[in-house]
Amino acid sequence: MSLSSQEQLEMSGNISSTANNEDKNEEEEEEEEDIPYDELSQRQDTKVEHIVFGIAASSNLWDTRKEYIKVWWKPNQTRGVVWLDTKVRTQANEGLPQIRISEDTTKFKYTNSQGQRSALRISRVVTETLKLGMKNVRWFMMGDDDTVFIVDNVVRILSKYDHTQFYYVGSSSESHVQNIHFSYAMAYGGGGFAISYPLAKELAKMQDRCIQRYPALYGSDDRMQACMAELGVPITKELGFHQYDVYGDLLGLLGAHPVTPLMTLHHLDLVQPIFPMMNRVQSLRHLMKSVKQDSGSVMQQSICYDKKRFWSISISWGFVVQVLRGEVSPRELEKPTRTFLNWYKKADYTAYSFNTRPVTTDPCQKAFLFYMNRTRYDPVRKKIFGTYSRYKIKPPPCTSKSPSPEKIDTIIVSKRPDPLRWQRSPRRDCCRVLPTRKNRTMSIRVGTCEEGELSEHVGVETVHGNEVN
């Protein structure tokens, strides 16, 4: 979403009356039975205490970046260390990890004219964390001071893997140019990557010699990948680690998140706050309200259709609901809209490492956005009720006969917590528009697809006003 300075975003009015009537909005909804879960696979019993976070930080940026860490760090639960270049002022009970100063790296060669020698220091974070001798460690999780982790989802993903084996788990950049320049085989450090304990031990034995062999490399993560290549360990890709080598608005990416747990957000200083009318840290804290309710489902997309009003609906759970006039097929809606710019500003849309779709210029196909306002769990119904409020931007003139989503102020999204969803095969949730007696409110149920249920549209597929053959 690209907003001009004249466009004023404002939260729709007081929604307390809507919150008080949430149960009424669900009166006609069928009551569901509890879903029995089986142990679907032989998974490791990895828990948060088995993971140690190594956070690469800069003293110059500490006062700003520590606020990102506070958003996700869980005192007395998460374990880890922030590695800085020089000492910083600290306060008691800030809710932060312990802080240590990295070892001296002046003995190592560094010849890259475009980079910084701090890459040498950061490349040794895992090794230096290993040397602390923490007990009962299965994984070392690497990240930057502007990396926000969804900790429960990190645990979920790492539980899939045998921690007694050599694993190097991470993901690539969103920028095709970045991946060509560095490597598609490299796990990007800002997006976060995990190294199993036995692999970290093996790395520590040879890393200093390895670093000396690659003085011309730019960063810390390409040095790490070079050492992994010498050890013969490939990257195991998990798409929920997000480097976010982009600028602008993450709406397009987060509104069509891949069907995998959201694990990290990165480069938060370089993109707009994910919730309008909030600053970056406020936005992240706001998102964590949804994470607290159902971390495994946050940002997961659901697609459904209001066939009476001829609307297409895309839900990014816990974040935003997008309502569009007309019928847009699921194969289009699951592609991120290009609300963001490439890391290399001269590169066009072909320089992404995934499919995207353009921001439409057709005024009748502009998405109406409803951002998550509040969320609560109803222990009687055993459901989460999220209130999504429309941000009122004056819509451009449209000649469509389809009713305007501008008539809706609030969308109530209900779902059951689904902590074991990632023990089943990956699949988008299904959603269904429910009857409601309130004219300016829409009610939608999200949940596991029933047998035979799908995101089915009945018309001819249209993309930005043109029929697709």
What is the residue-wise DSSP string for 288-305? HHHHHHHGGGTT-EEEEE
Query: How do residues 366-393 score in pLDDT, each as one tens digit?
Result: 999 999 999 999 999 999 999 999 987 7
The residue ranking higher by pLDDT, 466 or 291, is 291
Q: Which domains are delineated in the chain? A: 16-31+246-467 (2.70.130.10), 48-237 (3.90.550.50)
- pLDDT mean over 213-231: 97
d(CA 235, CA 135): 26
DSSP annotation of 7: P
Q: What per-residue confidence (pLDDT) applies to 42? A: 52
d(CA 401, CA 148): 44
> What is the Cα–Cα distance from 282 to 269, expressed in whole angstroms?
13
pLDDT value of residue 91: 87
User: pLDDT, tens digit, for every residue of 398-440?
Assistant: 988 889 999 999 999 999 999 999 999 999 999 999 998 888 9
pTM of the model: 0.88
Average pLDDT (15-31) is 46
Helix (H, G, I), strand (E, B) or coil at 429: strand
Q: In whole angstroms, how far apart are CA 351 and each of 85, 275, 347?
A: 34, 26, 6
How far is CA 456 from its chain centroid? Answer: 26
pLDDT at 49 over 50: yes
Answer yes or no: is pLDDT of 2 > 50. Answer: no
CB of 416 closer than 8 Å to CB of 378: no
Residue 331 sits at φ, ψ, to 5 deg, of -65, -25
Cα Rg of the chain, angstroms = 23
Measure the CA–CA gap between 323 and 344, rounded to whole angstroms: 31
Mean pLDDT (the chain, rounded) = 89
